[in-house]
Structure 1
């Protein structure tokens, strides 16, 4: 042993104790993980009480088991001669606890009796696997038939025909990246990543794209997104224009967004307040009602996965994995369960307000819409007004 290190250990009893405890790579506190760790003390007992299991993991036992069956092979590690590997179910249990509470890695490490870096690597690995393994099943690239089905749901549920999704962006706060300056700042002077997303009529995510800079508006993020490029290049399977019900009017299938988004023939936004009349007010109401699905989807997401209610204390790459993981978990839970979470019930009874609306209204990304886009909006406006007059 180096003479300087020997001297340091001799003069610092606390450091000496730490080094002796860590000689085999495991701290003394963590050696009794199977007796005192949170997973070993709670997991099997909680499975006897479904309500408690739901409160802890934010999902029913059946959903946990389903997810585990899909990712188990990808997060299984071989035992070594020196230590027993951590089981896939413990890894998933730890990850769900982190995502549902946002508890810091250091605090969870003490609770589960393992090293902080070990626990962090488990969470990051599991988040990446959740996304890659579950996206093809629960957030696949939508086909034309799928988009037509979504449009039927919007018309039946939200009274807006030919709507293939509601679009908006969410700011997810992160730790400031090194040497980033103000590139990731949102308008509230926080370091954020923007997540543009599209939701269907049932508040499921059709598409998410994580990584926009917080300083960008929702409209600016959309124009820089892959979704925008796919639609502009006719590679997104948007159905061909079709006649509206009980009418001779043929109109495009569209996304609906707020004032931050550009007016396109495939993307409807509200009329500005300065030009409103009764017909346009009626259109804005119908559009706003349909657009609440994405606001509610974001509300459900943050109510259930509370890691999004605070800054994500990781580097940017791992933050992206965490955000994508909670999005795909949102879809899995929505697909498999009728959610009875009281926080979510309250949120659905009180839909969230778009807090970015006033800030983004005058950003200038919506200038000079095409004549084609204006004509599509006029067709919807006239159709909705005719329906209103018949009531």
Structure 2
């Protein structure tokens, strides 16, 4: 071995030792299985790229910062901290939440436990969750504005509104919007007879078109009935699946059953209270001219030429509708203004919000005298025309005309009773006029 070879070995050997040290410290991996695996030995395929991506995502989710720096002070200067805990002004609190502080406390006692969250991080208090949701429903604030006011992330605000709306419906609906029983229907009938002199009335029905403005879904229909005291008794929600062919998808049984004449008799047929003939008549709902004449649904006469009795019946029915279901929807959409503007929610989340607003209407109206006093009912604006449902959408289901006979007979009898009342009023007015002239 010559001198040159010795110099070469002196340079290579240290490099080889360093390479061995690095390899010894390198993490050990399972050797790839040989293609010539012995029979009976379990073979495993190498990990896929998809698996490695999932593992990488799981590792990246273990973040240390959960709240942005600008939102860390929400317990000090956020809207909840500055308004709720220092709410000495009842009017300001009611304007923000749609109810008084006492009613809020009553509502929180019912739903507060279900709004509690268990987390390794400090959860948002249940009072704040309820307060934020009521502010959103009552004032139709944008999610971005609420995010800045409450010092929360936009996704957190959306999640709180959706979860709280669902809790409100699931908790309040069994007590404040239950499925009416025979006694409830009888009380509704008595209320319409006493208040509006409309016999055999199970309630007034109307439908409103709500804009959800979400991707390809643009319309949702809220159909509801109410009693004479403006409490909602039944509701259903429909999504417009095909506006061209007037196809609706009803989410519950009430809307589809009513419009397809499959509702059934909710009360047994009985004679009208003021009719001369003791003929049994069915009990029905009443609705405006945008609805078709159906079984269990009385609507006005729509012929071009109306006689005096028909005209008086239409006026009588119109007053009852204006004072009941029209007022109920006007109060609902005025107090819970989120329904009057585009919701910008998915159909599933929009339905949760709509249901929460309806059941809150019944709850707050029962416990808060300032919710819809007589002065408010006189000034409340009617629902805008943009919320009117096209007539053809409500007539899209097949209507067997033979099933309307009982309803047509009821309307004819109601027309005669209304005509007799009109004649008696005219006679009384003439008698009073003659007596005043004689004096």
TM range (shorter): 0.7 to 0.9
Distance between the aligned counterparts of 1:78 and 1:224, measured in 2? 33
Deviations 1:310-338 (A, max 9, x none): 11122121111111111111111112122
- Work out which of the residue numbers 251, 257, 262 in structure 1 matches 2:287: 257
Residue 375 (str. 1) matches residue 420 (str. 2): no
Deviations 1:332-388 (A, max 9, x none): 11121223568x845534663784779528986678463333212111111221222
State how 1:336-375 maps to structure 2 within 5 Å: 336-339=367-370, 345-349=375-379, 352=382, 355=385, 360=391, 368=401, 370-375=404-409
Residue 78 (str. 1) matches residue 124 (str. 2): no
Equivalent residue pairs, number: 355
SS for the counterpart of 1:64 is helix
Contact 1:144 1:238 in 2 (8 A): yes
Residue 38 (str. 1) matches residue 79 (str. 2): yes
Distance between the aligned counterparts of 2:307 and 2:248, measured in 1? 30
Distance between the aligned counterparts of 1:105 and 1:357, measured in 2? 27
Higher gyration radius (CA): 2
Change (3 A) 1:372 1:354: farther
Residue 98 (str. 1) matches residue 128 (str. 2): no
Calculate the TM-score normalised by the size of structure 1.
0.82
State how 1:1-391 maps to structure 2 within 5 Å: 23-46=64-87, 48-80=88-120, 83-177=121-215, 180=216, 191-213=218-240, 226-227=253-254, 238-249=266-277, 250-292=280-322, 293-339=324-370, 345-349=375-379, 352=382, 355=385, 360=391, 368=401, 370-391=404-425
SS for the counterpart of 2:156 is helix
Distance between the aligned counterparts of 2:389 and 2:159, measured in 1? 40
Contact 1:271 1:284 in 2 (8 A): yes
SS for the counterpart of 1:169 is strand
Calculate the TM-score normalised by the size of structure 2.
0.73
- Per the alignment, residue 4 of structure 1 pairs with none
Distance between the aligned counterparts of 2:357 and 2:84, measured in 1? 21
Superposed CA RMSD in Å reads: 3.0
Deviations 1:145-176 (A, max 9, x none): 10110111111111212111100101111113
Distance between the aligned counterparts of 2:204 and 2:330, measured in 1? 14
Gaps of at least 5 residues in structure 2 are 1-62, 426-439
Distance between the aligned counterparts of 2:365 and 2:212, measured in 1? 26
Change (3 A) 1:247 1:132: same
C-alpha displacement of 1:246: 3.5
- Per the alignment, residue 15 of structure 1 pairs with none
Change (3 A) 1:111 1:242: same
Shifted more, 227-236 versus 161-170: the winner is 227-236
Contact 1:71 1:133 in 2 (8 A): yes
